Amino acid sequence: MPTFPYHSALVTGASSGIGEAFARRLAERNVALVLVARRSDLLEKLATELESAYRVTVEVLPADLTDESRLAAVAARLSDPERPVDLLVNNAGSSGTGEFAALPLEVELRTAALNVLVPLRLTHACLPGMISRGAGGVVNVSSMSAMLPRPGSATYAATKAFLSAHGESLGMEVARHGVHVTTVHTGLTRSGFHEAAGVDTATLPRIGWLNPEEVADAALAAVAAGRPSVVPGRAYRVRMPLLRVLPRAALRAIVRRSHRP
């Protein structure tokens, strides 16, 4: 396993699920942490546990990232030259579920903000310092949904497609500065995300689920190796090349057969 190259990291959505798994795996690697999420009580509990178990420094930064003042505070922390952050993990996100026209507009705007605008803002805040230091990394937690039409989650799929495309292009821009971007294309993961989005998990496939630790392990291995993208889980790695080459008409036909309006 390649030696992990970074000594500090900021993780969004760190209080549960994939974000919590990132925090735990980074602490195991002796990485100092800044943990960001809405629930301060859960962050404090996790910070206390990680500091005790791994003797790492853990800073808690409670923030609803759709609140401009709190987002600005997190961006300021990332750009602080006195306390450099080596690795940004853009994990926080949300999704509305249902027909777009029937969903409340505020739900879809929140999804667009958390999945697109927040990662853009935070990445823009940390990159100048990373470039000047000649080292740093960004992890974007995207989804296999980025490759597919997703009726019933149209905004979510579109935001993840943006995040994946932006990460690939950005990675090519900053590589010459010693900075890299890794995009993680997750499949179905038992993280609480679907429940929070109002998805009845009984309607989803029973097999092929990942746990959050599998996602974090695959992502951090890709970071250590400097890979631009990773697909956690063997079953999903097999599917990804097919999704890239199948004609869109074929993908629509496949999705249409499985979609339940």
Q: Is residue 118 part of a domain?
A: yes
In a domain, 224, yes or no: yes
| pLDDT of amino acid 170 | 98
Domain, as residue range, for 194: 8-258
- Active site (annotated) includes residue 54: no
Q: Which of 209, 193, 229, 199 is nearest to 91 (CA)?
A: 193
CB 27 within 8 A of CB 2: no
Place of tokens 């777009």: 100
Active site residue 45: no
Q: pLDDT tens across 168-187, in order? A: 999 999 999 999 999 999 98
Could you report the per-residue pLDDT of 82-124, keeping only the tens digit for each?
Answer: 999 999 999 999 888 899 999 999 999 999 999 999 999 999 9
Q: What is the mean pLDDT of residues 2-10?
A: 92
Answer whether residue 117 is part of any domain.
yes
| Average pLDDT of every residue of the chain | 92
pLDDT of residue 205: 55
Please check whether residue 202 lies inside any domain of the structure. Answer: yes
Single pTM value for the model:
0.91
Kindly report, residue by residue over 218-259, the tens digit of the pLDDT: 999 999 999 999 999 988 898 888 888 889 899 899 888 877
Are the beta carbons of 236 and 215 closer than 8 angstroms?
A: no
Q: How confident is the model at residue 194 (pLDDT cuts 50, 70, 90)?
A: very low
Q: In total, how many domains does the chain have?
A: 1
Buried b / exposed e along 171-185 (16+ C-beta atoms within 10 A): beebeeeebbbbbbb
30 pLDDT higher than 90: yes
Would you mind telling me the total number of residues written for the chain in this entry? 261
Q: Is residue 2 part of a domain?
A: no
Dist. CA 125–CA 221, nearest whole Å: 25
In a domain, 204, yes or no: yes
Band (59; pLDDT cuts 50, 70, 90) = very high
Q: What local confidence, expressed as pLDDT, does residue 221 receive?
A: 97
Q: Name the more confident of 217 and 195.
A: 217
Q: Would the pLDDT of 159 be above 90?
A: yes
What's the pLDDT at 255? 87
Secondary structure string (H, E, C) spanning the chain: CCCCCCCEEEEECCCCHHHHHHHHHHHHCCCEEEEEECCHHHHHHHHHHHHHHHCCCEEEEECCCCCHHHHHHHHHHHCCCCCCCCEEEECCCCCCCCCHHHCCHHHHHHHHHHHHHHHHHHHHHHHHHHHHHCCEEEEEEEEHHHHCCCCCCHHHHHHHHHHHHHHHHHHHHHHHHCEEEEEEEECCECCCHHHHCCCCHHHCCCCCCECHHHHHHHHHHHHHHCCCEECCCHHHHHHHHHHHHCCHHHHHHHHHHHCCC
Question: What is the sign of the dihedral through the CA atoms of 25, 182, 116 and 170?
Answer: positive
In a domain, 71, yes or no: yes
Active-site choice (6, 45, 160, 236): 160
* Residue-level pLDDT at 244: 86
- The answer on pLDDT for 209 being more than 80 is no
pLDDT of the residue at 95: 85
Confidence (pLDDT) at 196:
56
| pLDDT recorded at residue 1 | 58
Sign for the CA dihedral angle at 220, 169, 154, 235 comes to: negative
Q: Which of 184, 178, 83 is nearest to 137 (CA)?
A: 178
> Do the domain assignments include residue 1?
no
CATH number at residue 81: 3.40.50.720
Spatial contact of 208 and 233, defined as CB atoms under 8 Å apart? yes
Q: What is the pLDDT of residue 74?
A: 98
Backbone angles phi, psi at 210, to 5 degrees: -100, 160
User: Which entry of 6, 45, 156, 236 is annotated as an active-site residue?
Assistant: 156
